[in-house]
Structure 1
Amino acid sequence: MSDLIQKIKSLSDAYFEEILEIRRHIHSNPELSFQEHNTASFIEEKLKSFGLKDAHRIAETGVTFCLEGKKPGKTIALRADIDALPITEANDVPYKSKNEGVMHACGHDVHTSNLLGVAKILSQLTDKFEGTIKFIFQPAEEKSPGGASILIKEGILENPTPETILGQHVMPLIPEGKVGFRSGKYMASADEVYLTVKGKGGHAAMPETFVDPIAIASQIIVSLQQIVSRIANPKIPSVLSFGKIAGGNVNNVIPDEVKIDGTFRTFDEDWRKVALQKIKDISTSIASSMGGSCEVHIASGYPFLVNDEAYTKRNVEAAKAYMGEENVVELDLWMAAEDFAFYTHQVPGCFYRLGTRNEAKGITSGVHTPTFNIDENALKTGMGLMAYLAINELNN
């Protein structure tokens, strides 16, 4: 084991209890997207306590600063998201959310505390690297249009411009002590689909007097499935799902309208545009043919996330050196979306997964669930590995 790896692991061990308490504080005090004012202040306070006093706000609740190495050189960026979800926590833990209906159910408390740990570790190792590390504590990953897109518009990738950007995310499917990487396309784009089917309501026993939006909505949903099954190139993974239908109140009264909410996800920007137009065309034409109408609203979401192949390969090799080859796994395509994708369309990026699962401790719940939690030993792995990946990239 190299002296640098040993040094980083020693610092990770030494700072573990402090970062653990930071994670628990953030977990207990979650804030929703674009509302992370207290979280941002807490991050600033901790950075100052580490002797890092140059942090400043961006997009109101984002925090960023640069750490300089022993000599000028290239710039890299490290990113963590800081917002929580509108979920009521069901875990019975001392650090349970104090904010009713708000929970760090996607691990952003872990990402934030990890990056604080990375900052503390690297602040002790500035003589070990050349160049600049830009730290990004980003708000609003969970809510469109995504904090990443806003930070990019406000210049987060400028002055200085990073040559690469690195992001880490918890993964409850991977055991604690392991990490996962995937080169190339990794996570899907995500667009929100909102359909309002309009007809003419009436008594359910008198079909000749009404235009049934429920029947129209049913036909639209069934027909739209052909976009993936019969129109899409089968070599391009695609998902069109509808999670909400709202219309009517009783069994014998036909409503005037029905609302349908869904999501479309894929890995190709050209096909994404075609598919979204097909959703509009099919929905409106079916509604019209059945005597009604359909208003279609597409809320453009995150693009697909692509991990730069060369940069990811360097990180995989560095992770194997730091953790052992047996603890670095290859990831499959993931149909979920992440606004880190915006960065990867601007600069070479690598978004990898930190294992947090521990079946012996009963820590198996997925993200975005009321019982999500982590094996907190992952914090030690997370901050140490990211610190090493940062130095390795600067010195590569």
Structure 2
Amino acid sequence: MPNTQHFCTLDDTSDLNDELRGIRHRLHQHPELAYQEFQTSDLVAEALASWGYEVTRGLGGTGMVASLKSGTGSRAVAVRADMDALPITEATGLPYSSVHPGKMHACGHDGHTVMVLGAARHLARTRRFDGTVHLVFQPAEEIGSDSGAQRMIADGLFERFPCEAIFGLHNHPGAPAGTFMFRSGPFMAACDTVDITIHGRGGHAARPHLATDPLVIGAGLVTALQTVVSRNIDPMQPAVVTIGAFNAGHAPNVIPETARLQLSVRSFDPEVRKLLETRIRALANAHVQAHGASVDIDYVPGYPVLVNSAQETEFALQVARELVGDERVVDGFGPIAGSEDFAYYLQKKPGCFLRVGNGKDTPMLHNAKYDFNDDNLTVGAAFWTRLVERFLASKV
């Protein structure tokens, strides 16, 4: 084990508490949606440049990379933060609530950004590492497809900013603040979206025999789709099929022409993912056609399974244990049915995506009353600092 006395501790970043809270509250008040993170990226870029980082903007639209080299080492590591907000009207009542109706940081990306900024601040003033750190500030994680990670990779992220590994995290309501949670291998689910439109024949509610009722067909399909996981997928393999929307008709005395179902499909294995699509398509086609109607199926692949590499996960877990102690670190956490576009980075580079507790009794993510726990800001800053220092520790 390396000599840890020279690596960052919780006390080392405690003096940044007020500064980081102020930045986080400012970001929280001014949330910006996917690919609209103009003020956010300006604030981040200005701070990083003032601390001596070489800042490259315009990757993936509003994304950027801030690079800092120290010593003579040739190794490099990347740490990623996401910056976008969600189209939700905030209901926290906090003094720093969103000033933009219909937009809020309901997933904590403001906190993720500021934790990495805190690490950037401390790394710049101490420079106790030997090599290069690339801090990746990414837009559009929440968008679901054509995401910021995809666009940054397409813009040459790893060619322009080579690194040996990449790390990222997400806060986790329901777990104690400052608790770090890890899982090697498949950690977060692939997520696909399915839009099923049933075309029937509309008519008068009093003469259903002269119509082909897409609403009744859709209701039966909702029930039938519940068998896709329970009767097709190995019970040892996690998978989810959720019908989140069912829209048909507008009046009680009218049989509508169409009915529309929207599904969220989640899985952790590529073969399971393929099987889910095959069965959903086959079931929808057979069910609808059996009732004399027709169907359109738009199956949209979303983020892939997020797979953490074993070595980098064990390394990050060890960093957390050194920082906060064994009692605040959970190994083998999850898997988590939510999805994350950090998965695209892990298809290109080894790395680890982890979770950090946001508080046991705090509102869930994507909730109008959610707020990032400010107690995590200096903890996260210390964790990222120590991880970079440890990864780029001098070997002499």
1:72 equivalent to 2:73? Answer yes
**Deviation, structure 1 residue 150:** 1.3
Moved more, 136-145 or 368-377: 368-377
TM-score (norm 1): 0.95
Q: Is the 8 A contact 2:90 2:104 kept in 1?
A: yes
Q: Which runs of 5+ in 1 are unaligned?
A: none
Q: 1:375 is matched by which residue type in structure 2?
A: N
**Deviation, structure 1 residue 164:** 0.8
Q: Is the 8 A contact 2:59 2:151 kept in 1?
A: no
1:241 equivalent to 2:242? Answer yes
* Structure 2 residue aligned with 1:366: 364
Q: Which runs of 5+ in 2 are unaligned?
A: none
Counterparts of 2:14 and 2:170 in 1: how far apart (Å)? Answer: 21
* Structure 1 residue aligned with 2:254: 253
The 3-state SS of whatever aligns with 1:301 is: coil
* Structure 2 residue aligned with 1:141: 141
Counterparts of 1:87 and 1:190 in 2: how far apart (Å)? Answer: 21
Structure 1 residues 284-315: Cα deviation after superposition (integer angstroms, max 9, x where no partner): 12111111011000111000111111111111
* Structure 2 residue aligned with 1:288: 289
**Deviation, structure 1 residue 252:** 2.0
The 3-state SS of whatever aligns with 1:351 is: strand
1:1-396 aligned within 5 A: 2-5=4-7, 7-126=8-127, 128-143=128-143, 144-330=145-331, 331-357=333-359, 359=361, 364-395=362-393
The 3-state SS of whatever aligns with 2:66 is: strand
Counterparts of 2:79 and 2:282 in 1: how far apart (Å)? Answer: 42
Q: Is the 8 A contact 2:129 2:388 kept in 1?
A: no
Structure 1 residues 147-198: Cα deviation after superposition (integer angstroms, max 9, x where no partner): 1111111111223322111001111111113211111111000001101011
Counterparts of 1:335 and 1:60 in 2: how far apart (Å)? Answer: 28
The 3-state SS of whatever aligns with 1:83 is: coil
Q: 2:53 is matched by which residue type in structure 1?
A: L
The 3-state SS of whatever aligns with 2:55 is: coil
Q: 1:44 is matched by which residue type in structure 2?
A: A
Counterparts of 2:201 and 2:116 in 1: how far apart (Å)? Answer: 55
Counterparts of 2:26 and 2:227 in 1: how far apart (Å)? Answer: 47
Counterparts of 1:391 and 1:88 in 2: how far apart (Å)? Answer: 40
Counterparts of 2:213 and 2:195 in 1: how far apart (Å)? Answer: 19
Counterparts of 1:321 and 1:268 in 2: how far apart (Å)? Answer: 33
Counterparts of 1:35 and 1:293 in 2: how far apart (Å)? Answer: 39
Q: How many residues align?
A: 390
Structure 1 residues 248-307: Cα deviation after superposition (integer angstroms, max 9, x where no partner): 012221100011111100001122122112211211121111110110001110001111
Greater than 3 Å deviation, 4+ residue runs: 7-11
**Deviation, structure 1 residue 358:** 5.8
The percentage of aligned residue pairs carrying the same residue is 35
Q: Is the 8 A contact 1:240 1:262 kept in 2?
A: yes
Moved more, 235-244 or 171-180: 171-180
Q: Is the 8 A contact 2:201 2:212 kept in 1?
A: yes
**Deviation, structure 1 residue 124:** 2.0
**Deviation, structure 1 residue 354:** 1.6
TM-score (norm 2): 0.95
Counterparts of 1:116 and 1:210 in 2: how far apart (Å)? Answer: 61
Q: Is the 8 A contact 1:320 1:327 kept in 2?
A: yes
